[in-house]
Amino acid sequence: MNSQLGRGVIPLLSYFLLPVYALLSLLRMIIAYLFSLIFSLSIGILAAKNEKAEHIIIPLLDVLQSVPILSFLPIAIIFFINLFGPYIGAEISSIFLIFTSQVWNMTFGVYEAVKLIPRDLEEMVRVYRIGKFLYLRKILLPATMTKLIYNSAMSWGGGWFFLYASEIISLGNAQIPLPGIGSLLALSLAESPPRIDIAILSVLITMFLVSFTYLFIWRPLMEWSENFKYEYSAGEIKRKRVFEIPRVRIPPFLYRSFFRSLRYILRLPIRNYVAGFVSFVERRAGIIKKGTFLLLILFIAYSAMKIAPHITLEMPSSEYMGEPDLILIASLNSIRRVLTVLLISLSWTIPVSLLVGRGRHWDEFMLLFEIAASFPIPVLWPFLVKYIVLPLGDEGFEIAAIMLALFGAQFYVLFNSLAGVKSISSDLEEMRKVFLIRGSLYLRKLVIPGMFPSIVTGLITAWGGAWNSLIVAEYIKVGNEVFPSKRAQYGLGTLLSIAAWDRGDISSVIFITAVLTLIVITVNRAFWRFLYDYSAKFRVE
């Protein structure tokens, strides 16, 4: 493949292309989110309702969300490009990378929500022998709405975070910059001299898109999701919340041409069409299941035929296998940094969730968090290197690595904690007012127990986000200087980056990934599994 594949895109650094590139990036985000939504609902519900599947799916998801994208992205790129060609394969690879940054958080949210369905509802299903499709529509899907919508907002921001890395596909010495706001930012910074004006405009357009989607999609959906909290009080009839687009001060012609059209579309009898489609699926469930299975088999067979000629069977041999001391030190350093990130995340997200979740300025803070979660940290990386790493040396490297990993993890804890605060039923709030429960007793007996399952979900997804960010942050190369300079400071990310980028040693990449996978499985079995089981005690009954 020609190493100059991507050079034709660089002269197109133009203000006129910014809207077009922004729309292309938005389209990739939407496609990736739709696949994430389908995956999270199907796999999350299956894991929560099928005990045998749960023992396989949850450990596998823990591994997949924690194993850094650097480990499997080259393999995925080769797979898709060999299967669909360079450009279509690069597009699918980009969407796949965004998908992996969105889906795990959403899936764990669905799993947690279904596990916390009150037992009396489950008993009602058994007593009245409610059918599977009715059970899915009336019990399972409504139960997931609050967690799914809040986690979707977080995943949407996380997708923008990874978009900047996903729109430039590297394969050997070749680069395929896909047209999009992320590749435009990367190429503008790579120019000599850098096109700072294009870079700043790219970031501003991203912030606009994030703000727009929050105000007109996620905020109304969050309000609407309040309908699905479990309430048991009959003394007060609560007004049903609707999906309502907020009014904003914009030019009248824009409002007439766009927002009124959108309101009209939302008022169409969509429920009738959805009900008809669901009825059709119920009647043809057997045929659809067999057809889907057949298509999957055909795709696997076609993929095997296309990929088989490119596979060579070799015994993986890594030089790291002969250095167990280095692997142990690197593993301990990475675990120490990840735990530091989780503790810092908890230290500020829980108090902020308590203040914002019960405060009056919920919408303003949520918009701020959504923008912060999607901010492209690669833009700040040169400044971290210049003002922290280079002046402070190895101590600066520690600070910069933890800061970058913190940006990749803390918002998972924050958004899940906020969802936990909002999911506390108003019945419990009424009881608190009647019995005058307040202060520390209110926090210990009501708020923290109500938030605990969501905090556990946030920590698990933050654990994976911290590993993904840390793997990149643990290796910094500036000219001839490399950080960390001492082997005692090496982490698994350092070893993985050296193997992947400096040496092109696939065997070492596989070996380090296997070590990381072993760490993830061990922590999952020893700690996260215990926390998940313990959090089930706090379900609403």
From 194, 167, 205, select the one nearest 375 (Cα to Cα). 205
Q: Which of 32-41, 107-116, 146-155 holds the top average pLDDT?
A: 32-41
Region 495-513: what's the mean pLDDT? 77
* Of 142-151, 415-424, 427-436, 453-462, minimum mean pLDDT range: 427-436
Q: Which residues pair with 312 in a beta bridge?
A: none
- Could you tell me if residue 170 is inside a domain? yes
pLDDT value for 539: 59
Can you give the residue range of the structural domain that contains 186? 5-232+240-268+312-538
CA–CA distance from 207 to each of 15, 46, 73 (Å)?
Answer: 17, 36, 27
Helix axes 51-66, 18-49, angle to 10 degrees: 150
Q: Which two tokens stand for residue 498?
A: 């050296």
Contact 187, 180 (CB under 8 A): no
330, 491 Cβ separation under 8 angstroms:
yes
- pLDDT band for position 107 (cuts 50, 70, 90): very high
Measured CA angle at 221 (ends 20, 274), to 5 deg: 90
Half-sphere exposure of 477 (CA within 13 A, CB side): 8
pTM equals 0.72
| Three-state SS annotation for 391-446 | HHCHHHHHHHHHHHHHHCCHHHHHHHHHHHHHCCCHHHHHHHHHCCCCHHHHHHHH
Q: Is residue 127 part of a domain?
A: yes
Tell which wins on pLDDT, 451 or 272: 451
- What pLDDT, on the 0 to 100 scale, is given for residue 14? 67
Lowest mean pLDDT among 207-221, 299-313, 356-370: 299-313
Q: Which residues pair with 171 in a beta bridge?
A: 174
Percent of the chain topping pLDDT 90 = 10
Look at residue 27 in the predicted model and tell me its pLDDT: 93
160: in domain: yes
In a domain? residue 292: no
Tell me if 209 is assigned to some domain.
yes
Q: Can you state the angle between helices 18-49 and 181-190, rounded to 10 degrees? A: 120
Count, residues in the chain:
541
User: In angstroms, rounded to a whole number, what is the distance separating the alpha carbons of residues 182 and 165?
Assistant: 7
Indicate whether 301 belongs to any domain: no
Secondary structure letter of residue 128 according to DSSP: T
Q: What is the DSSP string of 248-270?
A: ----HHHIIIIIHHHHHHHHS-H
Which residue pairs from 325-333 have beta carbons closer than 8 angstroms and sit at least 24 positions apart in sequence? 326/487, 326/490, 326/495, 327/495, 327/515, 329/487, 329/488, 329/490, 330/490, 330/491, 330/492, 330/494, 330/495, 331/492, 331/515, 331/519, 333/489, 333/490, 333/491
- Written as six digits, the tokens of 212 are 């727009």
CA dist 29 and 232 (Å) reads 38
Judge whether 277 lies within some domain. Answer: no
pLDDT digit string (tens) for 263-312? 565 555 555 665 666 566 666 667 776 777 787 788 777 767 766 665 55
Rounded CA gap, 156 and 31, in Å? 12
Domain count, the chain: 1
Please give the pLDDT value at position 357: 73
Residue 297, domain member (yes or no): no
| Residue whose pair of structure tokens reads 């608190």 in the numeric block | 432
**Percentage above 70 pLDDT, the chain:** 72
Element of type H or E holding 176: strand 174-177
Average pLDDT, the chain: 76
At residue 538, the pLDDT reads 67
